[in-house]
Structure 1
Amino acid sequence: MLSTDRRLLPHSAAWFGVLCLLAVLCFHYPEMLTSQEFRSVYTSGFARGLLLFGLVATFLVGTVAILAGQRRRIALIGLVAASLAVFLGGATVPMDKVAATPYSLGVDWFILSLFFSAVVFIPLEHYLAHRPHAILRPGWRTDVCYFFLSHVLVQFILIVVTTTTTTVAATIAIDPVKEVVIGLPLWAQFLLAVFAADLAQATLHRAYHRVKTLWRFHAVHHSSRDLDWLAGSRVHLVETVLTRSIVLLPLMVLGFSTAAINAYVILVGLQAVVAHANIGVRFGWLEYLVVLPRYHHWHHARHVDYWDRNYAIHLPIVDMLMGSFKLPRDGSWPQEYGVLKLETVPRGLVAQTLMPFRGDREYEEHVA
C-alpha cells in the first residue's frame, strides 16, 4: 500500500507542513501551547532539528506530489503551511525561558507522538499486516481528530482525573495497606500496579458492554471498521475521563509510588497502541501472558460470540479470572470489525460526540 496509494505523498506533505506550522507556533507561544510536564522530556535543540527535517521533507515530498499530479491541492496545503512556518521564523525562532503556567495545551505532545508513532507503526503494519489495507483507510480523518483532541487536551484531562481520584482515594485509603505497598521494590510495585489497574479497567470495560447508557459512549470506540495503530485513539472524551479515573483510583488507594504509577502510564500508552495495531505476527504462548494484537482484535470482532470477551488490556489472566477469556487456538483473526448494528453509530467526531446524548436511534450517515 505504501507504493500504490497515490494519496500518500500529497497527504504526507500536507501533514508535514501543518505539523511544522504548529511546531513554530509552539516556539512562539510555549506557555500556551506546550505541556509543562512533557517539556522536560525533550530539548529545544532536538525540537529545532526535527522541525528543520519536517520543513525539508514537506518541500521535497510536496514538490514531488505536485509534479506527479497527485492530489495537487492537498500537497499545496502542506507547501503553504511550511512556507508560513518559514515566514514565522522556522527553526530559528528565538525562545526565552518558559514560565510555568497552570494550564496549557499539549500541542508539542501531539506533534511528537503523531510523528514517531507514524514512523514506527506505518512500516511495521505495511510489512507485518495480518489484513493489508491502505494507510489512508476509511475513517482515518476521524481517528486523527480523536488523536489530536486526546493529546492536546491531555493536561485538562489529567486535572479532572487527578482531582476526582485524589478526593475519593483520600477518604477510602487504608494506611496499613499503603505502608506495605510503598515498602515493596519498584519492580514489584509496577507488576502489582499493572494487575490492579487492569482488573479495575476490565471490570469497567465489561460494564461498558453490559450497561446500555455506558455502551453508547463505548460504541464510539468499537465503531472502527479497520484496526491499526491509529484506531485506538477513537474514544469518546467522557469515556476517556471515566476510564482513567477508575483505573487510577486503585493505584492511589493502595499507595503505589509516583515512579510506579508513571511507569504504568507509559506502559498503558504503549500497549493501547500495540493492541490495536495491524500486526499479524503470531507470538505463541506469549499471547496467553500479555495482551497482544490478535487478542484485542478479537474483542473488536463484529461477531456475537466475542462481543462480551477479552476485556483486559494488559494481562489475559484477568479475563481468565473473570470468565471472559476467549482466543481461537488455530491462530485465526477476525473477518470483520465494528459494532453489531453499524447504523447506530454516525460518522465523524462531532456526530459521535453527540451520539450518546441522543438516545437510541439510527443514522443515515453511519460507519458502514
Structure 2
Amino acid sequence: MTALPQSRRSWLACIAAFLGSCSLAGVICFHFPQLLTSHDFRQIYSETFARRLLLAGLIAAFVLGTLAILRGRNKRVALIGVVTAALAVLTGGSNVQFDAIGKTPYSLGLDWFVISLFFSALVFIPLERFLGREQSPLRPQWRTDLSYFFMSHVLVQFILILVTASTQGISALAAFPGLKAQIQAMPVWLQFLLAVFCADLAQALLHRAYHNVPLLWRFHAVHHSSRHMDWLAGSRVHFVEIVLTRSAVLLPLIVLGFAPAAINAYVVLVGIQAVLAHANVRIAFGWLEYLLVLPRYHHWHHVRDKAWVDKNYAIHLPLVDMLMGTFKLPPRGEWPHEYGVLKLETVPDGIWRQHLMPFRRPLPPPQQTPQA
C-alpha cells in the first residue's frame, strides 16, 4: 500500500488505530492470562494499573478515531481504531473478568509486548520528533520492524527457557568456587558494574564474529539491513541471533555466580540501552560518548560505508572497543547519511523472507562485500 503524503496523514487516526489495537490485545490477555501473559512480568505491574491503562486506551481510541473521521482524514485508519476499541469493549473492556491464573512452564508474553510497545512509543516518538533527523515513525519498512518487535517480546519466554536450559547445564560442568566466592562477596552494585563489563565483552566478541564469519553474517545481516535508524529498528534481529547472543551473554554471568539482582539490573539496562542506541535522537553528548554507547556511537556502526564495518561493536561501554582495537568516533557533530548493508540486494524485505534468507544462500562477510 502506498504511503500517504505527510500533508494528508492524520496523526489522530494513526494514534487511534494504535491504541485500539493495543486495547483489544489487552482484553485478550485478560481472557487468557495463563497462556498469554508472562508470570515474571505480572509481578511488576498490578491488575489495577492494567485496567486503568486499558480504560485510558479505549477512551483515547474512541475519541481520537471519531475526531479523525469527522475531519475526513484517514478514515480507514481511524475506523480501525474505533472498531478494534469497540471489539475490546464488547469482549469485556476494562471490566473483563478472569479466573485464577495457574502456573505454566511457558507463555507468549503478550502483556509484555503491549505495555512495552505503548511506553516505548510514548517516550521515543516525541523524542525523535523533536530531537532527531526529520523522519516519520511510519517510515518505510516500519511494519517489518514492528513484526520483529512483536516476535522478540512475545517469544521471550521460549527464548529464556532455551537459554536457561543451556546455561544451567554448562554451569553445572564449569564451576569456579574461588572466583564465585569473590564475586558473591561483592556488594550488588559492584556485581552489576562487573556484570555489565563481562557481558559487554562477551557480546562484543560475538558481535565481531558475526561480521567476520560468513555463516554467522548470514543471520546478522538481517539486523544491518535496516535503512532507517530509530527506536523500532533495533528490534530487527534474526531469531537464531537472539538465542546465540542471549546464551553468550548470560552464560558467563550464571557460571560466575552473579547475584540474581545484579543480573536482573543488567537485563533492564540491556532493554533501555539497546533501544536508545538505535534511536533517532541527534544530541551531542560530548565526553559521555567515551564512557557510554549512545546513539551517534552505534549509528556509525550501522553506516553504509566500508570504512566502518569493523568498528564500534560494544553495546554498553566504548572501553570494550578500545580494548579490542575497534573504537572509532567521527568528527564532532557528524552523523551517517545512509544506513544498511553495503550491498542492499543481499537481504530481502519482510520478516519471513529475512528469516529464511540465511538458509537459502551464502553471504560473504561485509568486509568482502563490494559497495553497491
Offset of residue 245 of structure 1: 0.3
Report the equivalent of 1:124: 127
Aligned 1:160-239 pairs, distance under 5 A: 160-239=162-241
Rounded to whole Å, the distance in 2 between the matches of 1:290 and 1:35 is 31
Report the equivalent of 1:263: 265
Rounded to whole Å, the distance in 2 between the matches of 1:98 and 1:241 is 28
Q: Is the Cα–Cα contact under 8 Å of residues 215 and 362 in structure 2 kept in the other structure?
A: no
Amino acid at match of 1:132: E
Rounded to whole Å, the distance in 2 between the matches of 1:241 and 1:7 is 39
* Residue of structure 2 aligned with 1:102, choices 101, 105, 124: 105
Report the equivalent of 1:27: 30
What secondary structure, in the 3-state scheme, does the structure 2 residue paired with 1:275 have? helix
Rounded to whole Å, the distance in 2 between the matches of 1:45 and 1:5 is 38
* Residue of structure 1 aligned with 2:296, choices 271, 294, 297: 294
What secondary structure, in the 3-state scheme, does the structure 2 residue paired with 1:302 have? coil
Report the equivalent of 1:78: 81
What secondary structure, in the 3-state scheme, does the structure 1 residue paired with 2:303 have? coil
Offset of residue 101 of structure 1: 1.7
Rounded to whole Å, the distance in 1 between the matches of 2:258 and 2:360 is 40
Rounded to whole Å, the distance in 2 between the matches of 1:182 and 1:190 is 11
Q: Is the Cα–Cα contact under 8 Å of residues 17 and 77 in structure 2 kept in the other structure?
A: yes
TM-score w.r.t. the length of structure 2 is: 0.94
Offset of residue 254 of structure 1: 1.3
Cα offsets for 1:100-137 (capped at 9, x unmatched): 222211000000000000000111111111x2111100
Rounded to whole Å, the distance in 1 between the matches of 2:231 and 2:72 is 29
Superposed CA RMSD: 1.5
Offset of residue 170 of structure 1: 1.8
1:52 aligns with 2:55: yes
What secondary structure, in the 3-state scheme, does the structure 2 residue paired with 1:332 have? coil
Rounded to whole Å, the distance in 2 between the matches of 1:263 and 1:219 is 29
Amino acid at match of 2:64: V
Rounded to whole Å, the distance in 1 between the matches of 2:159 and 2:8 is 36
Cα offsets for 1:269-305 (capped at 9, x unmatched): 1000000001111111010000000000000011111
Amino acid at match of 1:19: C
Rounded to whole Å, the distance in 1 between the matches of 2:285 and 2:75 is 42
What secondary structure, in the 3-state scheme, does the structure 2 residue paired with 1:268 have? helix
Amino acid at match of 2:298: H
Cα offsets for 1:83-116 (capped at 9, x unmatched): 1110011001123332222221100000000000
Rounded to whole Å, the distance in 2 between the matches of 1:299 and 1:77 is 38
Report the equivalent of 1:17: 20
Identity %: 64
Offset of residue 341 of structure 1: 0.5
Rounded to whole Å, the distance in 1 between the matches of 2:131 and 2:116 is 22
Offset of residue 4 of structure 1: 4.8
Structure 2 unmatched runs, 5+: 1-5, 364-371
Q: Is the Cα–Cα contact under 8 Å of residues 8 and 136 in structure 1 kept in the other structure?
A: no
Report the equivalent of 1:365: none
Rounded to whole Å, the distance in 1 between the matches of 2:8 and 2:215 is 40
What secondary structure, in the 3-state scheme, does the structure 1 residue paired with 2:300 have? helix
Amino acid at match of 1:326: K
What secondary structure, in the 3-state scheme, does the structure 2 residue paired with 1:299 have? coil
Q: Is the Cα–Cα contact under 8 Å of residues 321 and 327 in structure 2 kept in the other structure?
A: yes
Offset of residue 309 of structure 1: 0.4
Cα offsets for 1:136-192 (capped at 9, x unmatched): 000100010000111111110100011111111221221111111011111110000
Rounded to whole Å, the distance in 1 between the matches of 2:351 and 2:148 is 7
Q: Is the Cα–Cα contact under 8 Å of residues 5 and 134 in structure 1 kept in the other structure?
A: no
Amino acid at match of 1:312: A
Report the equivalent of 2:345: 343
Q: Is the Cα–Cα contact under 8 Å of residues 298 and 333 in structure 1 kept in the other structure?
A: yes
TM-score w.r.t. the length of structure 1 is: 0.95
Cα offsets for 1:319-347 (capped at 9, x unmatched): 00000001013221111110000000111
Offset of residue 7 of structure 1: 4.7
Going from structure 1 to structure 2, the CA distance change for 1:54 and 1:103 (only over 3 Å counts) comes to: same
Rounded to whole Å, the distance in 2 between the matches of 1:273 and 1:76 is 31
